[in-house]
Amino acid sequence: MENYTQTSTDFILLGLFPPSRIGLLLFILIVLIFLMALFGNLSMILLIFLDTRLHTPMYFLLSQLSLIDLNYISTIVPKMASNFVFGNKSISFIGCGFQSFFFLTLGGAEALLLTSMAYDRYVAICFPLHYPIRMSKKVCVLMITGSWIMGSINSCAHTVYALHIPYCRSRSINHFFCDVPAMLTLACMDTWVYEYTVFVSTTLFLVFPFIGIACSYGRVLLAICCMHSTEGRKRAYSTCSTHLTVVTLYYVPFAYTYLRPRSLRSPAEDKVLAVFYTILTPMLNPIIYSLRNKEVMGRSNGLPNKASFESRMCSGKSHLNLWLKTGKVTAIGASTM
């Protein structure tokens, strides 16, 4: 029997699982997805960290994506699972604030990081001679740091607002985590100003980056069509299609959820869409990148291949200088996934 006991400041998360056999099956499925996401992202991080031949900008960004996904799904699923197992759906006011803060921080950081990854592939394929300068270690660190800082600032603003508005007697959030728009349906005041703020921040963190990614890959596709090397075209297409798959799975349901006006939103639809960008995407990202990436597959299997040899050459600064002198730096563009 479910326990809805709460204090005056607690919220109730109605959750994702119905109280039936179907709910139990969904719970088992979500837990399996969670374990797969933990294993996949941890493996990706450790593989890139331990293998110096993968210490290149592309894999540095990929390791950060895995780190974000690892924390992302860990922010949502453990609490959701414990609520279902113990039948206590309450979450403290402060706990709800922390969950909302980490969710929005990681969500914003991932959106900006995916844009950085698109820029990395754009420079590698369209401007290979400038790649060592445009994607230096300093630039990578600035991109990653900027993603985290901007995501944190945006998250802090939304969370502080959500924690300072008056809530009515009902504290039942019709969601499986503390999503701020779902929390605001319980507010005892008009929140149209905040809804406008959500629209603006969603545009800045999702719409504009998505447009930038689409434009960069449009330019990349034109460059690929001009490639004379069949192998180079194949690898470039593999890189682009992999990243576009990840971008679509993340941006589209996220943007659709937050850009809709309140009159067109339904709690059931919001929960289904949230499953894509909070649970499925963190699980699918390491699978998509590893299966489509010869270098990662080669490292995980301990098998050397041509791609690993090219990556090993990319890791040394002296090799970059040599390529700049001999005109072979274009191999950077070809040494993609």
Using one digit for the tens of pLDDT, what is the confidence trace for 133-184?
999 999 999 999 999 999 999 999 999 998 888 888 678 999 999 998 888 8
State the residue for tokens 């109280």.
19
Supply φ then ψ for residue 263, to 5 degrees.
Answer: -65, -20
What average pLDDT does the chain have? 82
Token output for 130 = 């400038």
What is the biggest distance separating any 2 CA atoms in the chain, rounded to whole angstroms?
73
Greatest mean pLDDT among 8-17, 102-111, 265-274: 102-111
Using one digit for the tens of pLDDT, what is the confidence trace for 283-300?
998 888 776 565 565 655
Overall average pLDDT of the 225-247 stretch: 75
Overall average pLDDT of the 215-241 stretch: 77
Token output for 160 = 């502080």
Domain 11-334 falls in which CATH fold?
Answer: Rhopdopsin 7-helix transmembrane proteins (1.20.1070)
- Cα(10)–Cα(284) distance, rounded to whole angstroms? 33
* Beta bridge partners of residue 11, listed in sequence order: 91
Confidence grade of residue 311 (pLDDT, cut at 50, 70, 90):
very low
Could you tell me the pTM of the whole model?
0.81
Q: Which helix (H) or strand (E) holds 140?
A: helix 137-164
Domain boundaries, the chain: 11-334
Rg over alpha carbons for the chain, rounded to the nearest Å, is: 22
- Cα(195)–Cα(66) distance, rounded to whole angstroms? 31
